[in-house]
Chains A and B, each alone.
Chain A
Amino acid sequence: MSENALVVDVRDHIFKMGRGEQLKAIEHVNFSLPANSFTCIVGPSGCGKTTVLRLILGLDKHNNGRVELLRDGPVSAVFQEPRLLPWRTVEQNIRLVLPPSRQQESLDDLFEVLGLAELRGFYPNQLSLGLARRVSLARAFVLEPQLLILDEPFVSLDASTAERLRELLLTLWQARPTTVLMVTHDIAEAAALADTVLVFTPRPSRVVGVVDIDTPRESRNTAVIGDIQQQISALSVTG
């Protein structure tokens, strides 16, 4: 087993709402991610999946437990919304995350793989949602991160566009290995992509089960994915 890249152990995380109201978002979430692994978190809506990602990204603070990156290096994120700066072109948006020492690098290969070569000079408001998500993926991978966080990156897309983007994600990940943690509400998507699936209970979150998937991705046909889905669904119900 390879060394861990990230350890998360958070208990009793309270989410502060407006007017002094408080909500217990997490009861106990405890997991670690091996380096260069692909892990998905699944669970019902509002179960605190995104909260966990925000804690890992440092966008929210936790006060009980630890979130620790065990390797130095950049962290990238692909949010539900592409979050591209509308006043910068596609290429500028991607280059913006690079440090000054890498600004002169050619991005031709990346643009080619992502099918964005013709769109380098376009502004985000000229792109469809699917294309904007591609740019968001490119921005995440160009940094060669130690950890890549994906928060339902294919939500609101039609089935064929989502499928193309999933394939693209795997192509990029296999070419530039990194530790991936992805939240999805689509169990089939998790079954097709992940090495490990973490199943969360409804709020307050708890990890109710872990499904390790040994079948290689290229062998995961409809029947295999169906079996994995059943395992995950069974854990969801018992949790």
Chain B
Amino acid sequence: MRSRLQKIGLVGASLTTFVLLWALLANHLNDNALPPPIDVWNSLLVEYRSGELFHHLGMTLLRVLAAFIVAMAVGSAIGIWLGMHKLSNRILDPWLILLLNIPALVIIVLSYIWFGLNEAAAVGAVALNKIPNVVITLREGARSLNPEYSEMAQVYRFGFIKRLRHVVIPQLQPFFAAATRSGISLIWKIVLIVELLGRSNGVGFQIHLYFQLFDVATILAYTLAFVAVMLFVEYCLLQPLDNHSNRWRASHE
């Protein structure tokens, strides 16, 4: 309990120092390009009271969620398959490297040109940017599956679902966790570009709007609001889930 309080205190002190430094620098520069924290807070309140903040945050969050689900489902299936089948991996590896090296912007622009300025194209473009990373992470996971457990499952005649649930997925859990972490942070950044280029709502759209108005305080307000949402996801969803999956490791300590 005490160490937990210490941790919270340390994080609080670190964030307060950051805000203080920011305020000092903004005060020193006295320029619209870097508004002080209080101006950003006021912009946040204005957007909140008008209802715009939650509307745009909500739209962005929905796109992040949709792209994340598609990327994880497709990427995991392909990654596990490639990790288990050497020949398929040899054939598809060059495709993967190609896809990994196409800039996100190119995929987004082409997606809008080929499929139109619609939601499916937007979410699909974001997912396609993330899929190769998930494939590579899960491919490594599938390669490191312990054959001893597979043999045990074979001897005891585990069915496909039972084997997947009790033998394969628990071994892949650290790889799922890594893909999820890097996935969410990458996806929400790409979602903003997708919104900026071809959507009429969302945090990316709002940032583009306030960029044209040179309203840096509101740009920062939206950015910080979304970062706060992602921190909530990390600390209140991902970490507890991670701790639950890893409880057997903790039992050893």
Contacts of B205-253 to chain A: CB distance below 8 A = 248-249, 251-252
| A87 in contact with B170 (CB, 8 Å) | yes
CA distance A92 to B158 in the complex (A): 14
CA distance A187 to B111 in the complex (A): 71
CA distance A79 to B150 in the complex (A): 13
CA distance A59 to B157 in the complex (A): 12
Per-position 1/0 for A50-87, Cβ under 8 A of B: 00000001110000000000000011110101010111
Smallest CB–CB gap between B246 and chain A, Å? Answer: 9
- A125-B248 in contact given A83-B148, A85-B149 (Cβ < 8 Å): yes
| B252 in contact with A76 (CB, 8 Å) | no
| B166 in contact with A96 (CB, 8 Å) | yes
Contacts of A95-127 to chain B: CB distance below 8 A = 96-97, 122-123, 125-126
- Residues on B with beta carbons closer than 8 Å to the beta carbon of A79: 148, 151-152
Does A143 make an interface contact (CB < 8 A)? Answer: yes
Smallest CB–CB gap between B20 and chain A, Å? Answer: 45
Main secondary structure of the interface of B (DSSP, over half): helix
Smallest CB–CB gap between B63 and chain A, Å? Answer: 34
- Residues on B with beta carbons closer than 8 Å to the beta carbon of A74: 156-157
Does A176 make an interface contact (CB < 8 A)? Answer: no
CA distance A37 to B171 in the complex (A): 38
- Residues on B with beta carbons closer than 8 Å to the beta carbon of A122: 251
Does A88 make an interface contact (CB < 8 A)? Answer: yes
- Residues on A with beta carbons closer than 8 Å to the beta carbon of B155: 57-59, 75-77
| B154 in contact with A123 (CB, 8 Å) | no
| B149 in contact with A59 (CB, 8 Å) | no
| A85 in contact with B166 (CB, 8 Å) | yes
| B251 in contact with A85 (CB, 8 Å) | no
Smallest CB–CB gap between A134 and chain B, Å? Answer: 16
Residue of B156, B157, B162 most packed against chain A (CB within 10 A): B156
| B170 in contact with A123 (CB, 8 Å) | no
| B170 in contact with A125 (CB, 8 Å) | no
Residue of B152, B166, B167, B249 most packed against chain A (CB within 10 A): B152
CA distance A57 to B154 in the complex (A): 9
- Residues on A with beta carbons closer than 8 Å to the beta carbon of B248: 86-88, 123, 125
| A126 in contact with B251 (CB, 8 Å) | yes
- Residues on A with beta carbons closer than 8 Å to the beta carbon of B162: 96
Closest to B246 in A: A87
Residues in chain A within 8 A of chain B (CB atoms)? 57-59, 74-77, 79, 81, 83, 85-88, 96-97, 122-123, 125-126, 139, 143
A sample of 23 inter-chain contacts (CB < 8 A) reads A57-B154, A58-B154, A59-B151, A59-B154, A75-B155, A76-B155, A77-B152, A81-B148, A83-B148, A83-B151, A83-B152, A85-B149, A86-B248, A88-B166, A88-B248, A96-B158, A96-B162, A96-B166, A122-B251, A123-B251, A125-B248, A125-B251, A143-B156
